[in-house]
Structure 1
Amino acid sequence: MSRKNKGTKDIDKIDVLSRKMDNIRIAEYIEMLSNPKKLILMNFVMGLIRGIGMGLGFTVLTALFVGALVYLMRGWVNLPYIGKIIAELLEVIETYR
């Protein structure tokens, strides 16, 4: 068997495998569409997971932003008028923690 024929056979096998994998994906998609309860449940769970992830991410980003803001404001408290306003703001933030 020559090298050229062996390479061609390998390419043919890969092509057949690729077609079978595509057919499996199409079959899974059709099966999912034929079962509306499963489709609705899967979409509900995915939406729930995305919502929880966005909520947690937003909470972490907000906490980091407020923490950085508090850190920066503590350094500005020494300024006369701005310091008074920032001190009041910090008291409000500390009250609601």
Structure 2
Amino acid sequence: MERKTNDAEFMQLQLEKLVRHLEALRIADYIELLQKPARLIFLNFVAGIARGLGIAIGATIIFAMMLELLRRLILLNIPGIGNFVAEVVRIVEMKNGKF
């Protein structure tokens, strides 16, 4: 009889650990989200827009910083590098319609 009590207590303890672990993983929220496909699509759409906007803004800032660095290298008038950088800047400005 005592063995059954120990087994039941052990099972109860293991089930409580499992429930706490699943709650920590927020499985219920995930299951609820899967049951509402429209909300899942909307959240993924918003996340995609945010990622795309972040990439565009980040790339623009990096490109502007690189262009400014190239312009400053031109001003230093280092032999060889200055001509190369000037040509790159000229090509970029031509593509942007400034020339």
Q: State the TM bucket, normalised to the shorter chain.
A: 0.5 to 0.7
Between the aligned partners of 1:84 and 1:34, the Cα distance in structure 2 is 62
Please provide the CA RMSD for this pair: 3.6
Counterpart of 1:63 in structure 2: which amino acid?
A
Counterpart of 2:55 in structure 1: which amino acid?
M
Counterpart of 2:60 in structure 1: which amino acid?
T
2:58 maps to 57
Moved over 4 A (4+): 81-92
Cα pair distance change 1:76/1:42, threshold 3 Å: same
State the TM-score, normalizing by the size of structure 2: 0.60
Between the aligned partners of 1:39 and 1:87, the Cα distance in structure 2 is 50
2:33 maps to 32
Between the aligned partners of 1:75 and 1:49, the Cα distance in structure 2 is 39
Between the aligned partners of 1:44 and 1:57, the Cα distance in structure 2 is 20
Between the aligned partners of 1:75 and 1:24, the Cα distance in structure 2 is 57
The gaps in structure 1 that reach 5 residues or longer are 1-14
Q: RCO (CA 8 Å, sep 6+): is it higher in 1 or 2?
A: 2
Aligned residues: 81
1:1-97 matches, cutoff 5 A: 19=20, 22=23, 25-76=26-77, 93=93, 96=98
The gaps in structure 2 that reach 5 residues or longer are 1-15
